[in-house]
Amino acid sequence: MLEMPAPSEEILDRKSDIVRRLKEVAPEATVIHDPDETKAYECDAFTVYTCSPLAVVLPSSTEEVAAVLKICHEESVPVIPRGSGTSLAGGALPTADSVIVGVSRMNEVLETDYDNRFIRVQTGRTNLSVTAEVEGRGFFYAPDPSSQLACAIAGNIAMNSGGAHCLKYGVTTNNLMGIRLVTIEGEIMDLGGPYLDAGGLDLMGIVCGSEGQLGIVTEAILRIVPKPEGARPVLFGFSSNEVAGACVADIIRAGILPVAIEFMDRPCIRACEDFVGAGYPDVEALLIVEVEGAPSEIDMQLGLIKQVAANHNPETVQESLSDEQSARIWAGRKSAFGAMGRIADYICLDGTIPVSELPRVLKGISKLSETYGLGVANVFHAGDGNLHPLILFDANSEEEVKRCEEMGAEILKLCVESGGCLTGEHGVGVEKRDLMPCQYSEADLEAQMRIKDVFDPNWLLNPTKIFPLHISGERRAA
């Protein structure tokens, strides 16, 4: 069970004073403090735990964010930065004595520059609407989390989010050129800019992925990339997970870099087939491999990939020959989470493993599934080893919730043991906080916390995340 520190009674008592001060710097309507209304902010997409904040502020400018943070700093009130609230790790989960500062009203495009291939936006803007802005000119913003319709650039930067296209285009940190950061003391600074590389220490590099613990990011300069001429997938069905895993390894060894290699196991294939009827074969494992380029380039690459796959005797090969067929092949994969949700409640894990360990880890996961008596379906980005095992359970049974959490922890430990990590793209938040010592030694964690000491000496920004409470305790209390 998740432990959270008890709220400070002393702060709760000062609520009306704090709210009054916030209203002096932000328009009345953007300061939310009525418990009926703050309830909407009691969690993000990690819904197992909930707690309403003291208040919520939705500033409309960097200067307003700065003024709000200055007050929170003076009043020693914890601050929870928030984008769209789609974190799966509880990154934006508040405590009762905290003020949520959300950037959702700050969603302007400030500059688009095709000659230098960047776009400058306020960070409340959603991921997909960044691409929408530049699509007409043949560009896109590459990191594409499945939540891209809803999630904000703010959360993407804080979590260093990834997506299906990462194998080729990298994750958020690889596509970020500059940020405007407001410190907890209310100072505003620009890190990076419309040019390459840092001139001194790469502070932007450390802010990206720091889960809102170092400051609030209000603007971002994002690299935009010319859209490829086209893309087309091929689907393979295999008789076992092992064979599918071996095929992934061989494709990469052959010198081809597909834009996506997606993997689904039998439970997941079944569920998707029942849900959308994508025409998936009845096999143990399937791979969807997509390549990009002009039609002739695609033909050539898919030809090579089919040659490699042939050595593994696939039970089915479906090469898409049209946009319509591509859409059908992707339909099942894209609805995987929804399809699983129809069968049972599930939690979605996010460990990454070295690709070479795929068969062993998948076997380990099915063993754990037997031991704990809970079903698991696997659907993930195979090219980069980022697993998303979905553990199926009944959320109404307290006992099953507990069993599910325990089993999730065991799977993540297995990922770490096999040379991988706890989270490939969703972040630590509160969800994986207490598992951090499996991956990192005390010295490793201490080194990370020293960075926070510099940016936020009083530990007011999102203080109960990432680091196990007993490890961050002294700092938070100080």
Partner 1 sequence: MKPADETELSEAVASTLQPLAITGGGTRPIGPSVAGKTLEVSSLAGIRRYEPEALTLVAGAGTALSDIDRVLAAERQRLAFEPMDHRTLLGRQGEPTIGGTVAANVSGSRRIQAGACRDHLLGVRFVDGMGTVIKNGGRVMKNVTGYDLVRLLAGSFGTLGILTEIAIKVLPDTECKAGLLIHDLKTEEAIQALSAALQSPYEVTGAAHTPSGIDGHPVTMIRLEGFEEQVDYRTKQLKAVLSKFGEIQIEMNQEKVNAGWKWVRDVETFKDRPGEVWKLSVKSSDGPKIVRRIQAEVDADILFDWGGALIWVLVAAGTGDIRRYCEPMAGHATLVRASESAREQIPTFHPQGSLHQRLSDGIRRQFDPRQILNPGLMN
The answer to the question of residue 87 lying near ligand FAD (CB under 6 A) is: yes
Binding mask 390-429 for ligand FAD (x = CB under 6 A): -----------------------------------xxx--
Secondary structure of residue 97 in the 3-state scheme:
coil
Find which of partner 1, ligand FAD, none residue 87 binds, CB within 5 to 8 Å per kind: ligand FAD
Shortest distance (Å) from residue 319 CB to ligand FAD? 26
The answer to the question of residue 212 lying near ligand FAD (CB under 6 A) is: yes
Q: Interface residues for partner 1 in 245-264 (CB under 8 A)?
A: 248-250, 252-253, 255-257
In angstroms, how far is the first alpha carbon of the chain from the final one? 26
**Choices 210-218, 260-268, 274-282, 368-376 (CB under 6 A): range interacting with ligand FAD:** 210-218
Q: In the set 30, 50, 112, 146, which binds ligand FAD (CB under 6 A)?
A: 146
Biggest CA pair distance of the chain: 71
Q: In the set 51, 348, 436, 471, which binds partner 1 (CB under 8 A)?
A: 436
Nearer to ligand FAD, 131 or 301 (CB): 131
The answer to the question of residue 426 lying near partner 1 (CB under 8 A) is: yes
Residue 99 CA to residue 387 CA, distance in Å, equals 34
Nearer to ligand FAD, 202 or 284 (CB): 202
Find which of ligand FAD, partner 1, none residue 424 binds, CB within 5 to 8 Å per kind: partner 1
Name the residue among 83, 88, 77 with its Cα closest to residue 101.
83
The answer to the question of residue 56 lying near ligand FAD (CB under 6 A) is: no
151 in Cβ contact with 104 (< 8 Å) = no
Torsion of Cα atoms, 12 then 13 then 16 then 20, to 10°: -80
Q: Interface residues for partner 1 in 139-168 (CB under 8 A)?
A: 159-162, 166-167
151 in Cβ contact with 127 (< 8 Å) = yes
Altogether, the residues listed in the chain come to a count of 478
The count of residues interacting with partner 1 (CB under 8 A) is 92
Who's near 421: CB < 8 A, 6+ residues apart?
Answer: 351, 352, 415, 439
**How do beta strands 216-223 and 118-122 pair?**
antiparallel
Q: What single DSSP character describes residue 386? A: B
Find which of partner 1, ligand FAD, none residue 469 binds, CB within 5 to 8 Å per kind: none
Residue 193 CA to residue 210 CA, distance in Å, equals 19
Find which of ligand FAD, partner 1, none residue 360 binds, CB within 5 to 8 Å per kind: none
Nearer to ligand FAD, 319 or 384 (CB): 384
The answer to the question of residue 82 lying near ligand FAD (CB under 6 A) is: yes
Find which of partner 1, ligand FAD, none residue 5 binds, CB within 5 to 8 Å per kind: none
**Residue 23 neighbours by CB distance under 10 Å:** 16
Name the residue among 85, 133, 141 with its Cα closest to residue 108.
133
What DSSP element (H or E) covers 262? strand 260-265
The answer to the question of residue 359 lying near partner 1 (CB under 8 A) is: no
What DSSP element (H or E) covers 12? helix 9-13
The answer to the question of residue 194 lying near partner 1 (CB under 8 A) is: yes
Q: Interface residues for ligand FAD in 154-173 (CB under 6 A)?
A: 154-156, 158-159, 161-163
The answer to the question of residue 478 lying near partner 1 (CB under 8 A) is: no
119 in Cβ contact with 130 (< 8 Å) = yes
Residue 478 CA to residue 475 CA, distance in Å, equals 5
**Choices 61-69, 171-179, 319-327, 371-379 (CB under 8 A): range interacting with partner 1:** 171-179
The token duo for 345 is 């409640």
Site residues (CB under 6 A) for ligand FAD? Answer: 44-45, 80-88, 91-92, 103, 123, 145-147, 151-152, 154-156, 158-159, 161-163, 211-212, 216-217, 337, 425-427, 462
